Structure 1
Amino acid sequence: MFGVVVLCTAGVAMSLTQTLIMPLIPMLPGVFDTSASHVTWTVTVTMAVGAVATPIAGRLGDMLGRRRLLLVCVGAVGVGSSVCAVAPSMPVFLAGRALQGLGVAFVAVGISIMREFVPAGRLGAAVGMMSSSLAVGGALGLPFAAFVAQTHGWRVLFWVAAAGSLACLIGIRTLVPPGGIGTGGRFDVVGALGLGAILLTLLLPLSNGPAWGWTSRITLSLSGMSILISVGWLAYEIRRRDPLLDLRIAALRPVFLGNIIGMMNAFAFYGMELIPIQMLMAPSATPHGLGVSMLTAGLLMAPAGVAAFGSSHLGARLVASRGARFTLVVAGALAITALSALMLALLAGWEFPILYLLGITCLIGTSTGMSYATLPTLIMDTVPAEQTGEANGLNALMRIVGLAVAAAVVGMILADGSIQDPGVNRIAPSAAGYLLATTAALVAAVTSVLAALLLPRGLRSSGPGGRSVRSWRREPGSARQERGSRGRLPG
C-alpha cells in the first residue's frame, strides 16, 4: 500500500501546483513590470498544456509503460517550479508554468497504473483516493500559497513546489512497481498535433473571452477554428489504424456518459469554488459580502477538499455494493441539494452566516469526491486493460474542459453587473450575479444526474482487468482489439 500512498500524495502535490498561482496574480504585474491581462496567461498556459498533455500522456503510458510517464510528469513539474522560482521576466515565468502544466496529466496515468499492482478488493478505494486528490489539491492550494507567499515570499513558494516534486519523484521511483512493459505500437503524431490544436483554439477563447470580448474577432475566429479542426481530426482518427484515441471506446455508453458527468461535475465544483470565495472576500457592505482576508477565505474553503478526499472511500464502497449508476446519482443529488440551499438563501435575501456557506461547500466537496472516485472505476470496468490510460486521460480531459468553461461562464456572470463599494474602493459581484452563477452550477449538477440515470443498471467494480460492464462485451470491439497486438516497445 506504500505505492498507493505515494501516488495519492503526489496527486495532491501535482494538483496543488496548478492553483498556487491564484494569490500571486495581483502582485505579478508589479514584479515583472507587465499588464494585468498578460498575467492571466500564467493560468491559461498551465491549463492549455495540461489539457493537451493529459490524453497524450494516457496513450503514451499505455504504449511505453505508465510509471515512466509518471516520472516524466513529476520531473517536468519540478523543473518548471525551479524555472518559476528564478524567473527574471514574464516569458521565462510562463515557460515554467507551461512545464508545470504537465502535472495535470499525473492523476489520470496514476489511476491507470493502480490497476496493475493494487489487489482487486482495494482497487476501488485506492482509485477513489487518487481521483479525489484533484479536489484536495485544488482546495488546499489557495491557503497554502497565500500563507507561504505572505510569510516567506512568492519565490520560496515555487522552491517548495520543486522540493515536493523531487520527493515525489524519489517516492515513485522507489515504491511504485514498474508494472507492465506497455502495448507498443506507433504513436499518432498527427492526431496529437490535431488534438492540441483543437484544445488550444477552444481553451484560449474560453479563458480570455472576458478580456478579449466574447464577440471580438479573435474570440470568434479561434472558436470557429476549433470547430473546423475538430471535424477534420475526427475524420482522420476514425480512418487511422492506430489512432491517438480509439473513438469506438469513447463511444461506449458508460464511457461517453461518464465523460459528460465528469465535465458537468467539474463545472459545478469549480463554480462553487468561485462563488463562495467571492462572497468571503467581498466587503461586508456589499450584497452577501463577508469581508474576510484572502488567507482566511482560503482556510475556510479548505474543508471542501478534505470532504472530497474523505468521501472518496464512501463512493468506492457504494460502487461495490450498489453500482456506479446509483453512486453517481447520489453524488449529483448532494450537489443539487447544496446548490438549491444556496439559491433559496439568495432568493430570500438572507444574509447567511459563514457556517452556512461552509456547510454548502463541504456538501459540494462530498459530492465531488464520490463522483471523482466512481468515474475512473466505471471506465476501467468498461475498457480493455491495455487502453485504461487512454480512456482515463480522456475523462480527465473532459474535467479540464469543465473547469475551463466554469471559469469562463461563472467568472463572466460574476463580473457582469458587479458593483463598486466606495468605502474600500473595491468591486464586488452583485446579488443578481451570485444568483445567476449559482443557477448555472445547478444546471450542470442536474445535467450530471440525468446522464447518470442513462447509465446501464448493475455497473459494479470487478477489480483490475475485469470487464463487468455489459456494454464492453456486447459492443463491437475496439479497433486495436480487433487488430490484435502489433508488437511491443521496450518498457
Structure 2
Amino acid sequence: MEHVRLADSRGQRAPVGRLMAALIGAVVLFQLNATMLSPAVTDLGERLDAGADQVGLQATVFFLSAALFGVFLPRLSDIAGRRPVILAVVAVTNAGTVIGLLAPNIEVLYAARGVQGVCGVLVPMSLMVLRDAVPPDRFGLHVGIITGVNGGVAGVDALLGGVIVDTVGFRGVLATILLVGVIAAGLVWRWLPDSRPSAGARMDWRGVALLCATIGLLTVGISGGGVLLVGAAAVLFAVFVLVERRRPDSLVPVRQMRDRGTWGLLLTTTLTLAGVFAAINFVLPLLAQEGFGMSASTASLLYLTPYALVGWLVAPFAGRLAENIGYRRVFRVGVLGSVVALVIMMFGLSSPAVLVGCAVLLGVTAAGMANIMLNAMGVVYSPADNQGLLPGLNSAAFNVGASLGTAVLSSLVGQPGGYQLALAVAVVISLLALAVSFVLPAGQRQ
C-alpha cells in the first residue's frame, strides 16, 4: 500500500500529518480520561462526601468499562467503518465527561466513569487505522509515535491535574478533559479517513454478550471479588467456546482461537502487564510514600514522570527498529531489560536514587519497548477478514493484566520483607511473559 489511500470527510486522500494529528488527539483523550483524575482522590472525597475506597472504585469502573467496550467496538468498526465508530466513541466520551462535571454524588460519578470508559478503544483502533493507511515499512514508526505520545501524556497529565485540583477542584480537571475532547472530535471529523474491511458482515452479538460477561467476572474476581467469580468466568468462557463453534459468523472463529498469534499474544500481554505495570505503578509509588515519606506529587515527579517521558522518547525508535528486526525480538529485549531493572530494584530498595535509575530503565524497556510491541502485535497478528477482534481483546488483556498484577503484588507488600517479595514475584511473572512470547509466530501483516 503506497502512502495513505483512505478518504477523509471531504472524500480526499488524507495526508499522513493530518491523519496523525487526528489519531494523536484521540489517544490523548483516552490518556487524560485514564489518569488525569488520579491526584483528585482527596478532593473527590471531600466534594462528593465519599470515602477513599469509594473514590478509588471510580478508576476500577473506568478500566472495566474500557475492557468490555474493547471486546466488540473494534470489530464493529470493521463492519460499520473506522471513522463513524471513532467519532461516536469520542462523542460518548465527551457526554460522560459532562455527566461527571455535573455529578452531585459519587454514584453519578461512577456512571460518568463507566460512560467515559468507552474511550479505551481509541488506542487499539488508532493502530488499526494505521494498518489500513500506511505502508508496512512505516507501520512500526507510526505505532511508536502514537503509543509514545500516549505514554508521554501519562507522564505530565497527573502533575497538571494536581495543579488544577489544588486551584479549582476535580471539576476543573473534567472541564480540561472536555476541552480536549471537543478538539479531538473536530480533528477526527475533519481529518480521519474511513475504511470498512468487513463491510456487509454480521456482528455476533450473542458472542459479544458472553465474552463481555466472562471478562467482567474475571476482572472483578481477580480485583478482590473472590475465587468464585473467577470460577464462574471460566465456566462462562467454556460456554462461549461451545456457542462460537456452532456459529458461521462467530465473534472469534475457532481457527483464530487455536492460532498462536491469538492466545499467545493475549497470554503474553496479560503476564507482561501483571509483572511490570504493578511494580512501577503500585509498588514503587507506595514505597516512595510509605518508606521514604514522600508526598504523592513528589513520588510521581521522581518515578512515574521519568518512566513515562523516557518511554515517549524511546517508542518511535523502538517502532523503527521493529520494522528491521521484528516485533517479537524488540519485545523480548524490552522484557529482559525490565527483569534486570526489577532485580536491581529488589536489592536497591533503600536508595531513592537507585530506584529513580530503575524507573528510567523501565521507561526504556517497558514503556518504550515491551508495551509498544504488544500494541503493535495486536494489529500484526490480526487476520485480514477479522481485523478488529484481536486489537480489542488485546486491549482487554492490558486491563486484566494490570488488575491481576496489582491484586497479587498488593497482597504481598504488607508482609515482612513485602516490597522485596512483591518485586521477586513481578520478576517471575515477567520471565513467564518472556517464555510465552516464544510461541508467537513471525506474524507478517496480511
Shift of 1:118: 2.0
Measured after TM superposition, the shift of residue 304 of structure 1 is 0.9
Q: More deviation in 271-280 or 396-405?
A: 271-280
Match of 1:363 among 361, 364, 378: 361
The Cα shift of 1:303 comes to 1.6
Within-5 A mapping of 1:4-23: 4-23=20-39
Structure 2 partner of 1:352: 351
In 1, the alpha carbon distance for the partners of 2:153 and 2:211 equals 27
Aligned to 1:449: 434
> Post-superposition shift, 1:247?
4.1
Compare 113-122 and 435-444 and name the one that shifted more. Answer: 113-122
Distance 1:42 1:275 in 2: 21
SS at match of 1:387: coil
Distance 2:207 2:276 in 1: 31
2:421 pairs with one of 423, 428, 436: 436
Instruction: Name whichever of 236-245 and 100-109 sits farther off.
Output: 236-245
Any conservation in 2 of the 1:147–1:295 contact (CA below 8 Å)?
Answer: no
Residue 25 of structure 1 aligns to a residue in which SS? helix
CA distance in 2, matches of 1:400, 1:54: 10
Aligned length: 427
**CA 1:228–1:141: 2 relative to 1, 3 Å:** farther
Shift in CA distance, 141/437, structure 1 to aligned 2, threshold 3 Å: farther
Report what 1:487 is aligned to: none
Q: Determine the C-alpha separation between the residues in 2 that align with 1:339 and 1:326.
A: 20
Q: 1:328 aligns with which of 328, 331, 355?
A: 331
C-alpha contact (below 8 Å) 2:152/2:308 kept by paired residues: yes
Distance 1:142 1:2 in 2: 27
For residue 266 of structure 1, the aligned residue among 251, 268, 273 is: 273
2:129 is matched with which residue: 106, 113, 118? Answer: 113
Question: Which of 211, 215, 236 lines up with 1:195 in the alignment?
Answer: 211
Distance 1:119 1:205 in 2: 42
CA distance 1:224–1:384, change in 2 (3 Å): closer
Shift in CA distance, 165/269, structure 1 to aligned 2, threshold 3 Å: farther
Taking the aligned partners of 2:257 and 2:150, their CA distance within structure 1 comes to 22
Partner of 1:292: 294
User: What secondary structure is seen at the aligned counterpart in 1 of 2:104?
Assistant: coil
Structure 2 partner of 1:482: none
1:146 to 162, 184, 199: 162
**Pair 161,47 (structure 1): closer, same or farther in 2 beyond 3 Å:** same
Residue 230 (structure 1) aligned with residue 242 (structure 2) = no
CA distance in 1, matches of 2:269, 2:153: 17
Unaligned runs of 5+ in 2: 1-16
What does residue 284 of structure 2 align with? 276
| Rounded Cα–Cα distance in structure 2 between residues aligned with 1:247 and 1:5 | 37
Q: Which residue of 2 aligns with 1:128?
A: 144
Q: Deviations over 1:456-488 (max 9, x none)?
A: 4xx376xxxx43xxxxxxxxxxxxxxxxxxxxx
Give TM-score, length-normalised by structure 2. 0.89
**Which residue is 1:286 aligned to?**
none
The CA deviation at 1:133 is: 4.6
Question: Is contact 2:25–2:183 with CA below 8 Å preserved after alignment?
Answer: no
Identity %: 24
Match of 1:391 in 2: 390
CA contact (8 A) 1:258 1:395 kept: yes
Hey, what's the Cα distance between the residues in 1 that align with 2:439 and 2:231?
Answer: 31
* Equivalent of residue 248 in structure 2, options 241, 244, 260: 241
* Residue in structure 2 matched with residue 54 of structure 1 by the alignment: 70
Show CA shifts across 1:216-268 (max 9, x none).
xx634322321221111111112211112234224322333222222222223
Per-residue deviation, 1:335: 0.4
- Following the alignment from structure 2 to structure 1, what is the Cα–Cα distance between the partners of residues 257 and 375? 14
The alpha-carbon distance between structure 1 residues 137 and 439, as it changes in their structure 2 partners (threshold 3 A), is farther
Secondary structure (helix, strand or coil) at the match of 1:358 reads: helix
Per-residue CA distance 1:382-407 (angstroms, 9 max, x = gap):
33334222111111111111111122
Aligned-pair CA distance for 1:379: 4.1
The separation in 2 between residues aligned to 1:141 and 1:409, in whole angstroms, is: 27
Q: Normalising by structure 1, what TM-score?
A: 0.82
Q: Which amino acid aligns with 2:356?
A: L
Paired with 2:88 and 2:203, the residues of 1 have a C-alpha distance of 17
RMSD: 2.1
The structure number with the bigger radius of gyration is 1
Q: Contact 2:87–2:185 (CA<8 Å) still a contact in 1?
A: yes
What is the correspondence of 1:152-163 to structure 2 with a 5 Å cutoff?
Answer: 152-163=168-179
